[in-house]
Structure 1
Amino acid sequence: MQDIIEIGWGQLALFSLILLIPVGIDRAFKLGLLAESAVSIARMIVQLALVGLYLEFLFELNSVWVNLAWLAVMLVVGSRAISRKAKLRSWRVSVPVFCGLSLGVLPLVGLMLFGLLQPSPWHHAQYLIPLAGMLLGNSLSANIVALQHLFGAFEQRELEYHGALSLGASPGYACFPFVQAAMRQSFAPILASMSATGLVTLPGMMTGQILGGTSPLLAIKYQLVIMLAIFVMLFVSVAVCLSLSVRSLLNDSGRLLVQRDA
């Protein structure tokens, strides 16, 4: 295997000139996304630089309490990002999202650390933080899609919902088809991705390990573990999030207590 090839800062700066391509596309199609894109890219650069420096410190310190505190921060920030992107800025949404992420990621990370990888110590930041980060990162979009479709159904199928209530259905039963449709929509991307993995796409973790000099077969094993964990994480987090959201967002008469931001 070839040694890791170093990327210089100058080379990285030159490579970033490819961003001129989406700038040209934005102007040609008059999308109006330049400002938002610039802010997103700037935030990504700053956040990755700071996280890179912090992770070096975190790996060196390797404190169980600091690692667990960082995991808690990841859960809080992730849940807030989901509710914000879904345009649902309310604790009635943020709490179910946080519960869904926690019940999805904590048992899976625990299983991988204690039952599969067994690093020493078990809370080693080199394993705990990246594993939790990959699971949480891949669950964000699914939860956003689920919440958007759930609230979209309340708006677009309002007559159907109120008709079921008028016939004596409970609020949970009346909106159950909305929950089903939201779950199917949120799971569609991961199902499509898994069916194409290996033939059409090489996942990021596997590619990164191979570029880092890891044996392709070992990289495949790690990728299989991550993909299976992500699949389970999505099902658990979305199911818990939607189930708790329905309980939190509807009163006894079936009225929706939270509206999406304009």
Structure 2
Amino acid sequence: MDVIALSWWQLAMAATLVIALAACVYRARLGVGNALLLSAARTAVQLTLIGFVLEALFALGRPLWVALMGLAMLLLAGREVMARQSYRLRGGWGFAIGTLSMFVSAFSVTVLTLIVVIGPSPWYSPQYAIPLLGMLLGNTMTGIALALDRLSEGVRRERQLVEGRLMLGQSWREACAELRRGAMRAGLMPIINAMAAAGLVSLPGMMTGQILSGTAPALAVKYQILIMFTIAAGTGFGTFIAVSVASRRLFDGHERLRLDRLKTA
């Protein structure tokens, strides 16, 4: 089956739907009209630019350029994690924790999937490595950002309870155990909901794209199952690492709660 090519004027027609929505938002005085239009413009510009970059990267196919592309994606994802928190750790901790967590989880799961499961030749083939890493980073970023935001807000809200438990002789782990579990649950809920609804309520994006490009539905389903499982693993491990490191940072060596290490975004 041949893929139907889309022209720019056809994309402009689709953009009119967003413009119409923005007009309704303005009329309803929801206060997010500018953000909606700005996000739509960023989507168009960013995806267009990344399209040119990926075409050049696919043509070169060298591991150095693939690694540099992955590093750039990781750093941008780390910045987004920090930007999405209402309260973030001072200094470079807010950026470092999210970036390190995604590096350990998303990168390791991506490399493992490429080498052991998919097995392209070479294993770092950008056609497989970059899309897979991008999907893992995007979803892991969301999970970590939600978890860290829930953790920082929970500690601030339950400050007296946490400090009371510390005064009763509990360790910092015991004093904030429930808050840590709640933060981890918040980070995992998006991917859990996505897996529960996949195929029944929604057709995931990768599967839909493959089917539209002419891939057999059975093969598209296999790839989508693989992606969902790897995203779940990357998000889960990344969330666990981020919450563990961030919660430890909120207490000093004497196991005192240090909310002064948080600052408003």
TM-score, scaled to structure 2: 0.94
Moved more, 42-51 or 81-90: 81-90
Q: Which residue of 2 aligns with 1:133?
A: 134
How big is each residue's C-alpha offset from its partner over 1:111-130, in whole Å with a ceiling of 9 and x where there is no partner?
A: 21111111111111111111
Give the CA deviation at 1:208. 0.2
How many angstroms apart in 2 are the aligned matches of 1:16 and 1:255?
47
Show the counterpart of 2:7: 8
1:93 Cα deviation from its structure 2 partner = 2.1
1:258 maps to 2:261: yes
**Paired position in structure 2 for 1:41:** 40
CA apart distance, 1:209: 0.3
Aligned to 1:201: 202
2:31 corresponds to: 32
Deviation at 1:143, TM superposition (A): 1.3
2:232 aligned with 1:228, yes or no? no
Please give the per-residue CA displacement for 1:85-107, whole angstroms capped at 9, x wherever unaligned.
11426412221211210111122
Structural mapping, 1:137-152, within 5 Å: 137-152=138-153
Residue equivalent to 2:116: 115
Q: Report the aligned-residue RMSD.
A: 1.5
Q: Deviations over 1:31-81 (max 9, x none)?
A: 111222222222222111111001000000111011011111111110111
Contact 2:106 2:140 in 1 (8 A): no
Q: C-alpha distance in 1, partners of 2:213/2:29?
A: 40
Deviation at 1:160, TM superposition (A): 0.8
* Number of residue pairs the alignment of both structures matches: 261
State the match for 1:79 in structure 2: 78
Q: Which has the higher contact order (CA 8 A, sep 6+)?
A: 1
SS in 1 for 2:55: helix
Contiguous gaps of at least 5 residues in structure 2 = none
C-alpha contact (below 8 Å) 2:19/2:37 kept by paired residues: no
2:259 partner letter: L
Distance 1:257 1:249, change over 3 A: farther
Counterpart of 2:262 in 1: which secondary structure?
Answer: coil
The percentage of aligned residue pairs carrying the same residue is 34
